[in-house]
Amino acid sequence: MATIHDVAARAGVSPATVSRFLRGQRVRSPEAIQAAVDELGYWPSAAAQSLKSGRTRTIGAVVPDITNPYFAAVVKGMESVARRQRYRILLANSEESSEQEDEVIADMVRQVDGVILAPATEQDQTPMHVRDADVPMVFLDRDLADGEQFDAVLVDNYDGARQAAAHLLGLGHRRIAAISGNQDTTPGRCRRDGFVETLAAAGIDIRPDHDLIGDFREASGYQLTMVLLSLPEPPTAIFTANNLMTLGALKALHDMRVDIPAQISLIGFDDLDTGPLLRPPLTVIDRPMVEQGVLAMRLLLRRFDEQYADDIPRRIVLDTKLVERASTAPPQEETELPGRRTGRTRSL
Amino acid sequence: MATIHDVAARAGVSPATVSRFLRGQRVRSPEAIQAAVDELGYWPSAAAQSLKSGRTRTIGAVVPDITNPYFAAVVKGMESVARRQRYRILLANSEESSEQEDEVIADMVRQVDGVILAPATEQDQTPMHVRDADVPMVFLDRDLADGEQFDAVLVDNYDGARQAAAHLLGLGHRRIAAISGNQDTTPGRCRRDGFVETLAAAGIDIRPDHDLIGDFREASGYQLTMVLLSLPEPPTAIFTANNLMTLGALKALHDMRVDIPAQISLIGFDDLDTGPLLRPPLTVIDRPMVEQGVLAMRLLLRRFDEQYADDIPRRIVLDTKLVERASTAPPQEETELPGRRTGRTRSL
DNA sequence: CTGAAAGCGCTTACAG
DNA sequence: CTGAAAGCGCTTACAG
């Protein structure tokens, strides 16, 4: 591979001049240098550049799970902004594990100019690594206990859950269950709090056996829904705190031949591409996805600008929106579940 | 940030010895060095390492669209193998554009040890860049015209489409439409060929107005389905050549209040997470996803092993599988479409 | 086993 | 505007 010396030799100038030309400075023989670059197919070595300059033009993106459509969309948003500014993206999955996240970040933090992180939990050590490396970081979707020191792009999880609860209450539901996410994550906690407290404010204390904690994965949505269905008095409505658990709940309800929304209403946090096409079309709390990635990347790149490098942390909180489709309805007078063997069944 | 010199000074040895210790060689005072590393929180500079060694322990992954669940799953598979071997992943979206792909690859090829590429089209210049950089490459999902010179992980697209056609023929359909993908991609061509030729072998020449070419995106699935529905004689069954176009077709059929499968059967290439939960549950041609990413990464890492570096290209072709659900059924005697205004309507 | 030294490919004050 | 030179942080023959 051609080096800057090869280009210099061919163009009859010094490597320093080639370097200057490449960074857009005015030089005496731009044509000759450009010709040499073209003929040799020269492309600078990123390793050498970053060793020298201390900048890598690379951003680390760490998400719990890239196959979650929410995070895939977020990464796409990040990528589109980054590419336009000639930054690259180093992608890592933490698989919802703080340990894996810490490891991955420790490894990448030395070779990126900044990090965008959707933390696995609120307790991880990440900020230490990142602060040691003195690299800007933006939190996305989730926050840390001492997160206020960093830029962040979040949504109003509490209010989103409040909207969900208000919607179910408005329909007349009283026996309402929640399948929440990990309580050591911000969205996990805020969504549960927003939901439970809104019920409480309406005079309804959620029953302990209707107040279930999952882990944001599909399997836990499925299993906990099964638990709810096996209760002596199952709920007439279920709130699931993210897209994957909503899918799990939907599968469980299908498997048990529960009629949605006639027998049980279902409302989830996060929309899905297929949301309108599902049986039934899902009522959800929607939030921006690609846009969150775009905003996070902009916030991060902004920190590379001397002018803003030391600004106080900016925290962008986006609104959620209730999307009413067909999975929620007023409760039936008398709720019969097929699992209860009341004689009546209904096929979907 | 601490450098190897700092560690050496603190441990009372030379940088060379620290370097050797770090790579697992036997040294005289391992404890002192380890202590110095720990106390200083030392982590080697990746830039310096790769400048010196010529290896980056980074793999470039280029996919047309990370929000396509298929590619998200594939990237996840790649990532899990890479992480275990302490490789990192540089992710780029080509957005189904050869130009963007070439640009992105030219930029990353100097700073990765290898590339896994799902090419946007069969005509792009990518192999040139990659060959110039003398970096191993593995093709994934899609092939290039001269792709035989590279490792590849593919599925038997032709046979998958054949299965889809055979399934519809077996149900008794004769007026069958195909919404294919870009014909300058391998899957686009093979799936159309497999489908059309299987029909032809059964004595059915697909009608030109039923033989539509889309671009693998949801919008084209939607639009082309609308076109089919507006035909004087619409098909009784539709084959869509990938997951996103299937979703688009499903939306169009819903919007036009077409009863699936009573009025029109739908079969798609690629399964979806929500496949079983859709209205109706989709009959699809399924193929491995995460597994393809895993295999591609293994093939690539294998090339870094001197022993296999010069082996002839390995091409892994995986089988597809028909998953029968509820979106396909025998054609109705008399097909009425609501769009045709026959007086009857049916709500879903 | 160890250390001094060269060098990977750049960038950037410095002197001209 | 230009070039010689130093140096970014490592690794690795080389000599001991």
Structure tokens at A277: 């096409």
Residue A98 has pLDDT above 80, yes or no: yes
Q: Return the bridge partners of A179, or none.
A: A212, A240
**Count of A-B CB contacts under 8 Å:** 147
Q: What is the pLDDT of residues B120-174, one digit of tens each?
A: 888 777 777 777 778 899 999 987 777 678 899 999 999 999 999 999 999 999 9
Q: What is the pLDDT of residues A105-123, one digit of tens each?
A: 888 888 899 999 998 888 7
> CA of A23 and C1' of C12: distance in angstroms?
12
Work out the number of other CB atoms within 10 angstroms of the CB of residue B307.
Answer: 7
* A347 part of contact set with chain B, CB < 8 Å: no
DSSP A127-155: HHHHHHHT--EEEES---TTGGGSEEEEE
Residues 6+ apart with CB under 8 A from B325: B275, B276, B280, B281, B282, B283, B284
Instruction: For an interface test with A, give the residue of B56, B86, B88, B94 to mutate (most A CBs within 10 A).
Output: B88
**pLDDT category of residue B103 using cuts at 50, 70 and 90:** confident
> CA of B7 and C1' of D6: distance in angstroms?
23
pLDDT of residue B54: 86
Q: What is the pLDDT of residues A14-46, one digit of tens each?
A: 999 999 999 989 999 999 999 999 999 898 988
Between the CA of residue A150 and those of A93, A99, A131, A299, A300, what are the distances in Å? 21, 21, 10, 10, 10
Q: What is the pLDDT of residues A116-173, one digit of tens each?
A: 999 888 877 777 777 777 889 999 998 777 767 889 999 999 999 999 999 999 999 9
Q: Is beta strand B237-240 parallel, antiparallel or unpaired with respect to B211-213?
A: unpaired
Q: Do A272 and B272 touch (CB under 8 A)?
A: no
The predicted model gives A185-194 an average pLDDT of: 95
Write b or e for each residue in A41-68: b if 16 or more Cβ atoms lie within 10 A of its Cβ, otherwise e.
Answer: ebbbbbbbbbbeeeebbbbbbbbbbbbb
Indicate yes or no: strand C within 7 A of the C-beta of A312: no
What is the spatial order of strands in the sheet that A176-180 belongs to? A211-213, A176-180, A237-240, A265-269, A283-286, A321-323
Burial of residue A24 (number of CB atoms within 10 Å: 0-12, 13-18, 19+): exposed
Residues 6+ apart with CB under 8 A from B308: B302
DSSP A228-271: HHTSSS--SEEEESSHHHHHHHHHHHHHTTPPTTTT-EEEEES-
Residues of B in contact with A51 (CB under 8 A): 45, 47-48, 51
pLDDT of residue B140: 94
Q: Is beta strand A88-93 parallel, antiparallel or unpaired with respect to B88-93?
A: antiparallel
Q: Give residue B97's Cα distance to chain centre.
A: 15
* Average pLDDT taken over every residue of chain A: 91
Residue B118 CA to residue A256 CA, distance in Å, equals: 40
The predicted model gives A236-261 an average pLDDT of: 96
Residue A177 has pLDDT above 50, yes or no: yes
Q: Which residue has the tokens 């007023």?
A: A330
Taking every pair of Cα atoms in chain B, the longest distance, rounded to a whole number of angstroms, is 92
Q: What is the pLDDT of residues A53-67, one digit of tens each?
A: 888 899 999 999 999
pLDDT of residue B128: 75
Q: What is the pLDDT of residues B240-264, one digit of tens each?
A: 999 999 999 999 999 999 999 999 9
The predicted model gives B265-284 an average pLDDT of: 94
* Average pLDDT taken over every residue of chain B: 91
Residue B182 has pLDDT above 90, yes or no: yes
Nucleotide nearest to B49 (CA to C1'): D10
pLDDT above 70: percentage of residues in chain A:
95
pLDDT above 70: percentage of residues in chain B:
95
The predicted model gives A281-291 an average pLDDT of: 96
What is the spatial order of strands in the sheet that B211-213 belongs to? B211-213, B176-180, B237-240, B265-269, B283-286, B321-323
**pLDDT category of residue A89 using cuts at 50, 70 and 90:** very high
Between the CA of residue B234 and those of A49, B190, B228, B330, what are the distances in Å? 60, 24, 6, 15
Helix (H) or strand (E) holding B302: helix B290-303
pLDDT of residue B74: 97
Residues of A in contact with B79 (CB under 8 A): 66, 91-93
Please name each of the domains of chain B with its CATH number: 4-44 (no CATH), 56-156+289-321 (3.40.50.2300), 157-286+323-340 (3.40.50.2300)
Residue A308 has pLDDT above 50, yes or no: yes
Residue A337 has pLDDT above 60, yes or no: no
pLDDT of residue B310: 86
DSSP A10-30: HHTS-HHHHHHHHTT---S-H
Count Cα atoms within 13 angstroms, Cβ side, for A63: 26
